[in-house]
């Protein structure tokens, strides 16, 4: 994630922990502060790392790179170990998703009922491939390997809400309804149009740090 | 969860002649609009000034009929489905609150053949009760197993589970009692009971259906396991793809604790057992038991080598019972009704029942709990009603993404662990995915390798790298321009499968060859091979 920083980083030796414990070395970005707070409340439960990562992602919409260090500190782990865990699990994301998340099941049962054609339609409709976000920043498309709705294939989930016996037409209707809601929300909040509009509120807050690149 | 729809100031108090209407809250029902149906029922009832009590139950497992609404009548519960929100006014007009006839009416739920012909032991309450009501659970036979276990010595509980013949329902089919005996016999200050609810196999949903429909039976089963092996702490590892199941289970655990079923003094016995839910994070491999334990410990879900067995050194290095949801949820009925009662179902060394899940291209998909010994043909046609597309069925994958594809010639083999092993197939977790004749089996073989490549934890080279090479070899078989070139690639694929089978620590690498080789053996034409060249040749 932050390759450019690695040369001066002694995270795996423990030196980084001493460094960051200096007065004034406290986390300074909002995301790091949130991660530090969450890690502090969870650190004493056994096997705390996954619950912490879930809580961070639930609050920030993703696990930004600057959340790694405070989590590592709280659990007495190296940053590499925390990074390794984050990247092992497909559920955890390093960058915020779009305002909506569409997960399309690609497993066998859904394939038996035309999921490949459905996935192609959804990709075309959103104008993006899997693991990507539509051009307007509104919708992130992810594959999922089984939603447990196999008797009613094909299935998708939108923001965690399940939809079964999905067809291209039904998907288009869903998106139109969603677009209607977005338009309403935008008018109410009088937010400027643009990419930020596609972010979840919490994620947008963390957007400045998460989007940062070396 | 019970809400009464009656307008403010209405003369009708809830419960006063209010008709009970059941609308499932299972994800399978929500996915086809059950919330909108429940709202429409409350709205329509209020408009007509007719008091109804809407109970959000679990799913009966007749999933082609979801949302399946049931009306409690003096004669029994009457089923209507699939109900759309728009159907609700007409159903009221037809007099459905009295169980009257309608195009969507299926008569008494218990008399629907699909349900009536099942042997529901583990799923006895699923869809019947309000999943979050402890009182409902106790009124429908809940807690009898736990009460009985509290009167037994730990070794006697283990013996009862051993005598029942229960084997791991997650797929490995290891005798549950033997596993428990090992944990009981390993002294330690702290032991754990871990429930594997990381139901990642496609075509399976019985864990989800059970947790969302009757979470207390799982809680009871885990408490019994705790008593049996002297563990005081339990974890349920549920996959993040099941948010509804997680919410139901968390709420049920909180209520069970409040009711004194969990905590420091289980049912006033002075014995302690408590449990909590942990959420997975999208890794299929975490359904493998040692990988799940790593994940629970907060690490990458990388498979551990065995030994040591988890029963000896499992979670945090302590002796751990780790069982699938259905295994643990089958324990209460075994304790309540006796090991013999359970063992009398089934055949051979496969005792009791299995919750088969009919999925894919079938007219009537759903959950069928039957004793072992039923055949695939019965499940596909007598229950499943044949293909949803109306085309002939061609291939059926049994046991999830690592299960073999079976051609019609094998659909009469009884579903029994040993009988399936004999034909190089596996019963697994009971998932059955049907495909019609439009399926391209070479693509399915490629997908099996692709899935393995996506989900491999990376520990074993044959799985981590072999799966990617497997995708390439299947592609080269398809692209081969001479029979000799094709044959060479097929030879390579078999060789690769052999390496994966023998060189992987866990079932992901070790069983990905099952779907690949079964596709190749039974459907050679899809690989561009002559019909008689599919079967493995002598080396």
- CB-CB under 8 Å, B202 with A110: yes
Worst-scoring range by mean pLDDT, A66-70, B2-6, B227-231?
Answer: B2-6
CA B89 vs CA B44, B45, B48, B85, B423: distances in Å: 7, 9, 10, 8, 53
| Cβ-nearest to B284 among A54, A85, A145 | A145
SS (H, E, C) chain A: CCHHHHHHCCHHHCHHHHHHHCCCCCCCCHHHHHHHHHHHHHCCCCCCHHHHHHHHHHHHCCCCHHHHHHHHHHHCCCHHHHHHHHHHCCCCCCCCCECEEEEEECCHHHHCCCHHHHHHHHHHHHCCCCCEECCCCCEEEEEECCCCCHHHCCCEEECCEEECCCCHHHHHHHHHHHHHHHHHHHHHHCCCCCHHHHECHHHHHHHHHHCCCC
A residues 74..93 contacting B (CB < 8 A): 75, 84-85, 88-92
CA–CA min distance A5, chain B (Å)? 24
- CB-CB under 8 Å, B297 with A113: no
Torsion of CA B215, B219, B222, B228, to 10 degrees: -140
Q: Give per-residue pLDDT as tens, B116-125.
A: 999 999 999 9
> So what's the pLDDT on residue A1?
40
pLDDT mean over B64-74 = 98
User: Is it the case that residue B510 has pLDDT exceeding 50?
Assistant: yes
Decide if A63 touches B, using CB distance below 8 A.
no
User: What's the whole-number average pLDDT of chain B?
Assistant: 95
Decide if A44 touches B, using CB distance below 8 A.
no
User: Is it the case that residue A203 has pLDDT exceeding 80?
Assistant: no
Mutate to test the interface with B, among A49, A109, A156 (most CBs of B within 10 A): A109
DSSP, collapsed to helix, strand or coil, labels residue B256 as helix
pLDDT mean over B315-343 = 98
* Structural contact between residues B210 and B337, judged by C-beta atoms closer than 8 angstroms: no
Q: How confident is the model at residue A180 (pLDDT cuts 50, 70, 90)?
A: confident
pLDDT mean over A31-50 = 96
pLDDT mean over B233-249 = 97
Which chain B residues touch A85 with a CB distance below 8 Å? 298-300
Decide if A47 touches B, using CB distance below 8 A.
yes
CA B205/CA B431 separation, integer angstroms: 8
- CB-CB under 8 Å, A89 with B297: no
* Structural contact between residues B21 and B71, judged by C-beta atoms closer than 8 angstroms: yes
> So what's the pLDDT on residue A185?
57
- Two tokens at B159? 């013996």
Worst-scoring range by mean pLDDT, A50-59, A168-177, B85-94, B296-305?
Answer: A168-177
Worst-scoring range by mean pLDDT, A29-33, B62-66, B245-249, B337-341?
Answer: A29-33
Closest CA to A64 of A82, A45, A42, A43: A82
Decide if A130 touches B, using CB distance below 8 A.
no
> So what's the pLDDT on residue B533?
56
Single pTM value for the model:
0.90
Which chain B residues touch A119 with a CB distance below 8 Å? none
- CB-CB under 8 Å, B202 with A108: yes
> So what's the pLDDT on residue B534?
52
- CB-CB under 8 Å, A89 with B202: no
Which chain B residues touch A116 with a CB distance below 8 Å? none
- CB-CB under 8 Å, A108 with B447: yes
- Two tokens at B144? 């009898």
> So what's the pLDDT on residue A179?
77
User: Is it the case that residue A201 has pLDDT exceeding 50?
Assistant: no
Note the ipTM here: 0.93
Q: Which residue of A has its CA nearest to B363?
A: A151
pLDDT mean over B233-241 = 97
Closest CA to B181 of B165, B153, B161, B158: B158
CA–CA min distance A139, chain B (Å)? 18
> So what's the pLDDT on residue B458?
96
Q: How confident is the model at residue B88 (pLDDT cuts 50, 70, 90)?
A: very high
Q: How far apart are the first and last CA of chain B?
A: 64
Q: Give per-residue pLDDT as tens, B154-212.
A: 999 999 999 999 999 999 999 999 999 999 999 999 999 999 999 999 999 999 999 99
Torsion of CA A68, A72, A78, A84, to 10 degrees: -50
CA–CA min distance A7, chain B (Å)? 25
| Cβ-nearest to A85 among B278, B299, B436 | B299
């Amino acid at each position: 994630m932050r390759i450019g920083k690695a040369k001066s980083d002694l995270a795996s030796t423990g030196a980084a922990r001493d460094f960051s414990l200096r007065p004034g070395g406290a986390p300074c970005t909002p995301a790091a502060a949130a991660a530090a707070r969450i890690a502090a409340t969870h650190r004493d439960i056994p096997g705390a790392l996954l619950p912490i990562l879930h809580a961070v992602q639930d609050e920030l919409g993703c696990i930004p790179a600057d959340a790694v260090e405070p989590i590592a500190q709280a659990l007495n782990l190296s940053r590499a170990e925390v990074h390794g865990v984050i990247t092992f699990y497909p559920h955890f994301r390093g960058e915020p998703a779009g305002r909506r998340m569409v997960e399309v099941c690609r497993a066998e049962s859904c394939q038996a009922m035309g999921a490949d054609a459905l996935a192609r339609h959804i990709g075309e409709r959103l104008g993006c491939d899997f693991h990507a976000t539509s051009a307007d920043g509104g919708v992130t498309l992810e594959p999922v390997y089984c939603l447990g709705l196999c008797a009613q294939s094909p299935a998708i989930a939108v923001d965690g809400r399940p939809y079964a016996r999905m067809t291209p037409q039904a998907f288009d209707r869903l998106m139109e309804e969603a677009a209607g809601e977005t338009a309403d929300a935008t008018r109410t909040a009088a937010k400027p149009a643009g990419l930020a509009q596609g972010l979840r509120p919490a994620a947008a807050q963390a957007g400045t740090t998460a989007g940062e690149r070396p | 969860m019970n809400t009464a729809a009656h307008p403010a100031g209405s003369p009708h108090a809830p419960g006063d002649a209010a008709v009970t209407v059941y609308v499932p809250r299972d994800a399978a029902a929500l996915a086809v609009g059950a919330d909108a149906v429940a709202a429409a029922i409350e709205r329509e009832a209020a408009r007509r000034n007719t008091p109804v009590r809407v109970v959000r139950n679990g799913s009966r497992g007749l999933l082609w009929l979801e949302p399946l609404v049931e009306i409690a009548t003096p004669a029994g519960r009457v089923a209507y489905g699939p109900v759309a929100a728009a159907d609700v006014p007409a159903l009221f007009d037809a007099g459905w609150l009295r169980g009257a006839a309608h195009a969507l009416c299926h008569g008494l739920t218990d008399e629907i053949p699909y349900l009536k012909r099942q042997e529901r032991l583990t799923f006895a309450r699923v869809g019947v009760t309000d999943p979050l009501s402890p009182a409902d659970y106790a009124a429908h036979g809940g807690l009898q197993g736990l009460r009985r276990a509290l009167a037994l010595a730990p070794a006697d509980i283990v013996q009862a589970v051993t005598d029942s013949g229960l084997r791991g329902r997650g797929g490995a089919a290891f005798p549950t009692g033997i596993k428990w005996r090992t944990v009981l016999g390993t002294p330690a200050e702290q032991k754990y009971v871990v429930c594997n609810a990381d139901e990642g196999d496609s075509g399976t949903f019985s864990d989800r259906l059970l947790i969302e429909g009757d979470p207390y039976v799982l809680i009871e089963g885990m408490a019994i396991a705790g008593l049996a092996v002297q563990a005081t702490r339990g974890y349920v590892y549920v996959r993040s793809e099941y948010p509804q199941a997680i919410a139901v289970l968390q709420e049920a655990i909180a209520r069970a604790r409040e009711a004194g079923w969990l905590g420091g003094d289980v049912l006033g016995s002075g014995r302690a057992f408590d449990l909590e839910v942990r959420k997975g994070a999208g890794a299929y491999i975490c359904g493998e038991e040692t990988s799940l334990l790593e994940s629970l410990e907060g690490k990458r879900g990388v498979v551990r080598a065995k030994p040591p067995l988890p029963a000896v050194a499992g979670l945090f290095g302590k002796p751990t019972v780790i069982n699938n949801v259905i295994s643990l949820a089958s324990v209460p009925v075994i304790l309540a009704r006796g090991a013999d009662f359970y063992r009398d179902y089934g055949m051979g060394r496969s005792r009791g029942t299995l919750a088969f899940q009919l999925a894919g291209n079938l007219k009537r998909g759903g959950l069928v709990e039957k004793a072992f010994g039923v055949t695939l043909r019965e499940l596909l046609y007598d229950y499943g009603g044949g293909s949803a597309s109306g085309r002939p069925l061609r291939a059926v994958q049994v046991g999830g993404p690592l299960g073999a594809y079976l051609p019609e010639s094998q659909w009469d083999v009884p579903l029994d662990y040993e009988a399936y092993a004999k034909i190089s197939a596996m019963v697994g977790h009971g998932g059955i995915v049907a495909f019609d004749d439009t399926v391209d089996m070479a693509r399915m073989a490629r997908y099996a390798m692709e899935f393995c490549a996506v989900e491999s934890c990376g520990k074993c080279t044959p799985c981590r790298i072999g799966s990617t090479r497997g995708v390439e070899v299947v592609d080269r078989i398809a692209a081969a321009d001479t029979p000799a070139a094709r044959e060479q690639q097929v030879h390579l694929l078999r060789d690769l499968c052999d390496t994966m089978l023998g060189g992987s620590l866990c079932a992901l690498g070790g069983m990905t060859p099952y779907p690949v080789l079964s596709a190749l053996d039974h459907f050679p034409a899809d690989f561009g091979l002559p019909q008689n060249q599919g079967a493995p040749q002598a080396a």
